[in-house]
Structure 1
Amino acid sequence: MTATPSATHDVINLLDPVWTRDPRSLVDRVAGAGGSAPALFADGFEVVLFADDEDVRTILSDRRFVVDPANVREGATESRKADLLEAMGITPDLAVYVTESILGMDGSDHTRLRKLVSRTFTVRRVNELRPQVQRITDDLLSRLPDHAEEDGAVDLLEHFAYPLPITVICDLVGVPEEDRPAWREWSRTLQEFDPTRPERMNTVLGAMIDHIGAMIARRRAEPQDTLLDALIREQDEDGGRLSEAELITLVFTLVIAGHETTAHLLANGTHALLTHRDQWDLLRSDPGLLPAGVHEMLRWCGVALLTQLRYAAEDVQLKGGRLAAGDRVVALLAGANRDPNVYPDPHRFDITRHHGKPGEAHVGFGHGIHYCLGAALARQEGQVAFGSLVRAYPDLDLVPGREPERVPSPGAMRFKDLYVRLTRD
């Protein structure tokens, strides 16, 4: 390890739930150490954490950084995949469904899998989905009063933020409606990783694999017009392009990633707006701020704080330090999104910050070849959801005494619930 953060800073434990409750403190700590700091990863081994926007973008887009340690020159690194799988409680018989994920591939393998699903998430295709997203949104909002408790409180996460994206992605992929509650529970277990009970991860993964296998068998017998059916045809017509494990892994990656992060973006964004009432009022008065507002939520309270583990494939000099081939690195997305050299007054929440500016300045959806496939859909769901929410319930407010609690989920900002009142007292 040749990156040399300040020796005055202790190693950061990335499993510490304090960072999900207060990501600003993590950003400030790494920035204060010179832009990089040693950290303890989930597998119990050290990584180097980088927070500077330029360094984060380099790590995410430069081919000198890889997610598969097999792509580092021989002898330069020792793969810790087995340690990580063991820490997660994943048994060898299920390991292939983790190691053959699109998220863990580089180069041509990653491109091959990405091409199979990318056409589903083009801007044109996503725009065609907008009326459906609006119908689902309007229906959920109209039924919110039915879920009010005696004190008038409604859990917005449970009854709006979750149902919206999971309905959209399950319709798109082809998950039957009767199976969706099971996916919701699996998702909840996966995000609430408990290092003292790693066997829960293995149980959930096994259940998901069995379920998807059965769903694939049904679709082969009774095809429909969904993304799942298209992937099955790709495998059946040319088995060399898509293995059975890759097919199954693609399905659960798309469904989990396609709803879970969007659900928590809706919750995080609503909480940010309601705790910055001037920003809520701005959005109410000017719906034209919706695109910029969603970008600011992705920057200021985006779900993912960190990226997955990467390896330096060769010696690399970054602003925050020098890396040798084989060194393990993690990019701090929240750090790049709060870099004062890019965003003046970066800790301030301001939905006008991106207004009128072309492109996407933040890294809330990642950067480079692993940039989020569903980014356009997530942005659209956010714009529809927030625009409809402020119209339907302009006096929405948080419930005093029922402040939301963060899920102790390493590297991500998620609430357990989000209680609101539909009208202000």
Structure 2
Amino acid sequence: MTSDVPQIDLTDPGVSRDPFTAYGRARELAPIARVGAPGFGPMWVVTRHADIRTMLADPRFEIRTDSFMRPDVPEDCLPYMRTMSEMNGTEHLRLRRLAAPAFTARRAADFAPRIASIVEALLDDLPGHGPVDLMTRFARPLPMDVICELVGIPAADRLRWREYGATVVTNVGPAFAAAIPAIIEGAKAAVARRRAEPADDLISDLIQAQEENGDRLSDTELVTLIWHLVMAGQTPTNLIANAVEALLTHPGQLAALRADPGLMPRAVEELIRWCGPALLTIPRYAREDVELCGTPIAKGEAVTASVAAAHRDPRAYTDPDRFDITRPAGQPGHLGFAHGPHFCIGSSLARVQTEVALAALLRRYPGLALAEPAPRAPDPGTWRLSSLTVTL
């Protein structure tokens, strides 16, 4: 049944080194392929932009606990491990509606001055001379500081939460599992503090909603939602690092952005398409026997989508293999934040954060340049750098 569809081996170094070419070849051969590696898959992978949008919005494909690598955690942590990301239907919608008001485009825009303050403080702490790794000194701590400010994690606890966040963006499974008890305790402590001292943040808003109608959000759900939103808020780390590297290796595009800072919102959209961190979506599982892209998918089979292939799909984009920050806005939107019911709730915050971070870097450092080629981490699911050493 699968011999006539392209096969992608995730252990092939060429796939990790250049996933855009590897998945692009499969895309031009067929709209669906097979992907796998020891301990991962095999599963179906959709390769074309329009088909991916259709699959991600199709309720016959659902996210399950099996969609995630489940860390081995102590038994008392298990009640807090089922997050919104692995829920579907009305259960997922209920929690999403409670969190959504903190992540609207307007709220993100209103939050921009507070993001700018965090950005400037991190840049102030950079050394005045010599090479500096922007990954460890800027791109990694920034999203954690921002999401902690938005959610309501106390400032005194944020260095510890930065360490937790680093385990997420580097995909260190055992380290993340070891940190889970402390992360959950940190979320419990933050909730307890805001019960006693309400403030202008998400935790206070959720506590108020809980107290007004106690059956809407249990204490366990509240703690789970808080730690999950904070950890999920680390997405901009790899986006910002990839964006800086892309601009510094495309001097014409960098010059155009410096000449016209008003291009920044469009530039960020193009950067997400060109070098966004998502390579594969979270797997979905067929709830019934389904036909997808002309291929029968059996009930229970896993299906993912190649964002890398979609973002270079000539059916969706004109001249897709060219990085162009002036790309017309009317072209199909990227899939960097997924699509459908599980579209990233923090997408507006990630966009604003990236815009503010890049604008500050370009304004403060007119001579910003790579000190050495930025090495990529061999990660089949995430397009990310190991480091980003620059001269300021």
TM-score between both structures, scaled by the size of structure 1 = 0.84
Instruction: Please state how far the C-alpha of 1:359 moved relative to its aligned partner.
Output: 8.0
Correspondence for 1:57: 53
Q: 1:240 and 1:120 mapped to 2: Cα distance?
A: 21
2:176 is aligned with 1:176: no
Question: Residue 141 of structure 1 is aligned with which of 123, 126, 135?
Answer: 123
Residues 288 and 414 of structure 1, relative CA distance in 2, 3 Å threshold: same
Q: 1:405 and 1:109 mapped to 2: Cα distance?
A: 41
Residues 284 and 208 of structure 1, relative CA distance in 2, 3 Å threshold: same
Correspondence for 1:311: 285
Correspondence for 2:9: 12
- Quick check: 1:50–1:320 contact (8 Å CA) kept in 2? no
Residues 33 and 182 of structure 1, relative CA distance in 2, 3 Å threshold: farther
2:18 is aligned with 1:25: no
SS in 2 for 1:271: helix
Residues 42 and 243 of structure 1, relative CA distance in 2, 3 Å threshold: farther
Question: Residue 43 of structure 2 is aligned with which of 29, 39, 47?
Answer: 47
- Quick check: 1:66–1:106 contact (8 Å CA) kept in 2? yes
Q: 2:37 and 2:221 mapped to 1: Cα distance?
A: 26
Question: Residue 185 of structure 1 is aligned with which of 163, 168, 180?
Answer: 163
- Quick check: 2:195–2:207 contact (8 Å CA) kept in 1? yes
CA-to-partner distance for each residue in 1:182-237, whole Å, 9 max, x for gaps?
A: 2221122233335xxx5433212222112212222233233333211222333344
| Structure 1 spans left out of the alignment, 5+ residues | 70-79
Correspondence for 1:73: none
Instruction: Say which is worse superposed, 135-144 or 203-212, in terms of deviation.
Output: 135-144
- Provide the aligned length of Structure 1 versus Structure 2: 392
- Quick check: 1:89–1:200 contact (8 Å CA) kept in 2? no
Residue type of the alignment partner of 2:385: F
CA-to-partner distance for each residue in 1:8-52, whole Å, 9 max, x for gaps?
A: x54523x77764442213322432541322222785442111111
Correspondence for 1:287: 261
Instruction: Please state how far the C-alpha of 1:84 moved relative to its aligned partner.
Output: 4.6
Cα RMSD of the aligned pairs, angstroms, is 2.5
Question: Residue 346 of structure 2 is aligned with which of 374, 393, 411?
Answer: 374
- Quick check: 2:35–2:42 contact (8 Å CA) kept in 1? yes
2:361 is aligned with 1:389: yes
- Quick check: 1:6–1:37 contact (8 Å CA) kept in 2? no
Q: 1:219 and 1:40 mapped to 2: Cα distance?
A: 45
- Quick check: 2:73–2:181 contact (8 Å CA) kept in 1? no
2:376 is aligned with 1:419: no
Correspondence for 1:76: none
- Quick check: 2:119–2:142 contact (8 Å CA) kept in 1? yes
Correspondence for 2:376: 406
Residue type of the alignment partner of 2:229: L
Residue type of the alignment partner of 2:325: I
Correspondence for 1:266: 240
Residue type of the alignment partner of 2:232: A
Residues 408 and 217 of structure 1, relative CA distance in 2, 3 Å threshold: farther
Residues 19 and 371 of structure 1, relative CA distance in 2, 3 Å threshold: same
Correspondence for 2:88: 106
- Quick check: 2:284–2:303 contact (8 Å CA) kept in 1? yes
Q: 2:186 and 2:151 mapped to 1: Cα distance?
A: 14
Q: 1:202 and 1:144 mapped to 2: Cα distance?
A: 31
Correspondence for 1:344: 318
- Quick check: 1:5–1:321 contact (8 Å CA) kept in 2? no
In percent, how many aligned pairs have the same letter?
42
Residues 102 and 395 of structure 1, relative CA distance in 2, 3 Å threshold: same
Correspondence for 2:97: 115
Instruction: Say which is worse superposed, 247-256 or 232-241, in terms of deviation.
Output: 232-241
Q: 1:95 and 1:21 mapped to 2: Cα distance?
A: 36
Relative CO higher for 1 or 2, CA cutoff 8 Å, sep ≥ 6? 1
SS in 1 for 2:235: helix
2:308 is aligned with 1:334: yes
Instruction: Say which is worse superposed, 266-275 or 17-26, in terms of deviation.
Output: 17-26
Question: Residue 124 of structure 1 is aligned with which of 106, 110, 119?
Answer: 106
Instruction: Please state how far the C-alpha of 1:54 moved relative to its aligned partner.
Output: 1.5
SS in 2 for 1:386: helix
Correspondence for 1:277: 251
Q: 1:297 and 1:32 mapped to 2: Cα distance?
A: 23
Residue type of the alignment partner of 2:230: V
- Quick check: 2:112–2:352 contact (8 Å CA) kept in 1? yes
Q: 2:159 and 2:37 mapped to 1: Cα distance?
A: 31
Q: 2:363 and 2:147 mapped to 1: Cα distance?
A: 24
Q: 1:239 and 1:46 mapped to 2: Cα distance?
A: 43
SS in 2 for 1:144: coil
Residues 48 and 5 of structure 1, relative CA distance in 2, 3 Å threshold: farther
Within 5 A, what are the aligned runs for 1:183-222?
A: 183-193=161-171, 198-222=173-197
Correspondence for 2:131: 153
Correspondence for 1:97: 80
Residue type of the alignment partner of 2:381: G
Residue type of the alignment partner of 1:375: S
CA-to-partner distance for each residue in 1:241-267, whole Å, 9 max, x for gaps?
A: 223332222112211222x21121111
Instruction: Please state how far the C-alpha of 1:300 moved relative to its aligned partner.
Output: 0.8
CA-to-partner distance for each residue in 1:59-91, whole Å, 9 max, x for gaps?
A: 21122221138xxxxxxxxxx57x953xx4345
- Quick check: 2:169–2:237 contact (8 Å CA) kept in 1? no
